[in-house]
Chain A
Amino acid sequence: MADKKLKASAKKRGNRLGLWFFKISLRLFGLSGAYGLLYLVCPYYLIFDRPGFSAGMAYINRRYRDHNFLHKIYYVYKLLINQGKNLIDRYYIISGQGQFEIEDQPDERLEALFNDPQRGGILLLAHVGNWQVIMAGLGKLIKKPIYLLMRPEDNVALKDMLDVDGEQELVKIISPEGYLGGVIELTQAISRGHLVSIMGDRTYGADSVEACFLGEKAHFPYAAFGMAAAIGCPVIVLFSAKVSTKKYRIFYPTVIEPRYSSRHNKRQDIEGWIQKFAKNLEDYVAEYPFQWFVFDDIWTENSINNKRL
């Protein structure tokens, strides 16, 4: 069972023998030992995983504009190392070898929202820190159901790790492949006072608008803000960061209450909210440059879909 989970976590990266080495080193030497293996394995991906390298470089080129090419290659290498740690951390929890300390200090306003059974909201996440580990922690900290919008088959490991959809569990999955991308279920969940978690930094082909990010226009999905404006609920930006081997920290940089200024001004309103989110993300990567694992060139996507905004 644990084998399947680790394989699902690693997806296409890593073969059976490689995963076996990681599991054994995790059992024998703990987290630090397993991390150590990454320094030997990641050069392989740096050289042969061309799509991964290009996508990582798209970010590094903009984050470190003035640095030379060799430095940039080293930074992509650091990104790969940290992503590897991310996967090992997930497996560490899945396999029951231990837990991570999660530092979570929401302010009074957020605590009130999290404890209000009537008030729902949207948790707007990004591919930073380790959102899967954080979700496992949040499910225990927040005493109201949290719905994740994701394809269950893409995150089998996460599904098992959170024991989502179990009778007692508060974390549930809504598939974006359902009717109308699952938005009807999401909307109803929020209306019942529940929380919905959506990724805000990668479009996956969904409608997007542009915002200035690291000095250039980048594409961000806007569904979270469109939903929040229609429902009248808050969007809580939530990031996490690995701050030591066994500790993660949760941040809530902004709570946005999206309301359209007028029916004819939706586009400008949404662009303003997206720009706030992009600024939050920019501040994050300034502090934790090697913990953003979007691995997608969000600056040069093929098209912007926002037909009716």
Chain B
Amino acid sequence: MSDNEAQELVEIRKKLKTMLVENLSLEDVNPDDIKADEPLFGEGLGLDSLDAVEIVVMLQRNFGLEVKDMNKGREIFYSIDTLAKYVYDHTKASPES
């Protein structure tokens, strides 16, 4: 991975963290406090299924993305890292979306 790509991933992670805190009413949570590799649901950040709805909407509105293969849902929505990787891979493949 080039420095450029690594930098882009860092930016996406940062953006996702900020969006999570703003959209999910995560009071008392600072975006910088969210660990990129901790699970979003259950143990970890402790999000629930309704938060998942907000994340899906967030991906659609901000990145024009839809998760078509639900078999990969668990993998994609696991952490900020996995989510950022998904956003990076798919927005890079079709920049117009």
Report yes or no: B57 in contact with A181, Cβ–Cβ below 8 A.
Answer: no
A231 touches B74 (CB 8 A): no
B50 and A184 contact, CB distance less than 8 A: no
Task: Determine whether the beta carbon of A231 is less than 8 Å from that of B53.
Answer: yes
Interface-centre pick from A180, A226, A230, A263 (highest chain B CB count, 10 A): A180
Segment among A49-57, A185-193, A276-284 that sits at the interface with chain B: A185-193
- Asked if A16 is an interface residue, CB under 8 A from chain B, the answer is no
Q: Is residue B89 within 8 Å, beta carbon to beta carbon, of the partner chain?
A: no
B24 CB, min distance to chain A CBs, angstroms: 8
* B52 at the A interface (CB under 8 A): yes
Stretch from B8-16, B31-39, B65-73 forming part of the interface with A:
B65-73
A188 and B52 contacting across the interface, CB-CB below 8 Å: no
How many residue pairs between the two chains, A and B, have CB atoms under 8 Å in the bound complex? 60
B57→A223 contact, CB < 8 A: no
Beta-carbon contact of B57 and A183 below 8 Å: no
Q: Does the CB pair B49–A185 fall under 8 Å?
A: no
Knowing A207-B50, A226-B53, A231-B57, say if A179 contacts B25 (CB, 8 Å): no
Cβ of A308 within 8 Å of any chain B Cβ, yes or no, is: yes
Shortest distance between the CB of A229 and any CB in chain B (Å): 9
Within 8 A of A (CB), among B34-57: 41, 48-54, 56-57
> Does the CB pair B60–A184 fall under 8 Å?
no
Would you call A227 an interface residue if the criterion is a C-beta within 8 Å of the partner chain's C-beta atoms?
yes
Decide if A119 is an interface residue (CB 8 Å cutoff).
Answer: no
| Chain A residues closer than 8 Å to B57, beta-carbon distance | 187, 191, 230-232
Looking at the assembled complex, report how far the CB atom of A124 sits from the nearest CB atom of chain B, in whole angstroms: 15
- Cross-chain contact of A180 among B23, B25, B49, B66 (Cβ < 8 A): B49
Report how many residues on chain B are interfacial, defined by Cβ distance under 8 Å.
20
Contact of A184 among B23, B25, B48, B52 (CB under 8 A): B52
Residues of B close to A180: CB separation below 8 A:
41, 49, 52, 73, 77
A266 B52 Cβ-Cβ under 8 A: no
Count residues of A near B (Cβ-Cβ below 8 Å).
23
Contacts of A179 in B (CB 8 A): 70, 73-74, 77
Interface string of B67-93 (1 = CB under 8 A from A): 100100110010000000000000000
Residues in B with CB closer than 8 Å to A231 are 53, 57
For B50, give its contact among A178, A183, A185, A191 (CB under 8 Å): A183
**Which residues of B are found within 8 Å of A266, using beta-carbon distances?**
25
Chain B residues positioned under 8 Å from A109 (CB to CB): none
- CB neighbours (8 Å) of B60 from chain A are 191
List the A side residues contacting B66 at CB < 8 Å: 188, 191
- Given known contacts A184-B67, A207-B50, is B25 in contact with A263 (CB within 8 Å)? yes
Shortest Cβ gap from B37 to chain A (Å): 19
Residues of B within 8 A of A230 (CB): 50, 53-54, 57
Instruction: Report how far A105 CA is from B67 CA in the complex, Å.
Output: 36
How many Å lie between the Cα of A264 and that of B26 in the bound state?
10
Are A187 and B53 in touch, CB under 8 angstroms?
yes
- Give bound CA distance, A184 to B25, whole Å: 19
CB distance from B20 to the nearest CB of A (A): 12
Which chain B residue shows the least CB distance to A206? Answer: B49
A145 to B73, CA, bound (A): 22
Taking A178-B70, A180-B73, A223-B50 as given, write out 5 further A-B residue pairs in contact, using a Cβ cutoff of 8 Å, ordered by the A residue number.
Answer: A183-B52, A186-B53, A191-B56, A207-B50, A308-B51
Binding site for B on A (CB under 8 A): 178-181, 183-188, 191, 207, 223, 226-227, 230-232, 263-264, 266, 307-308
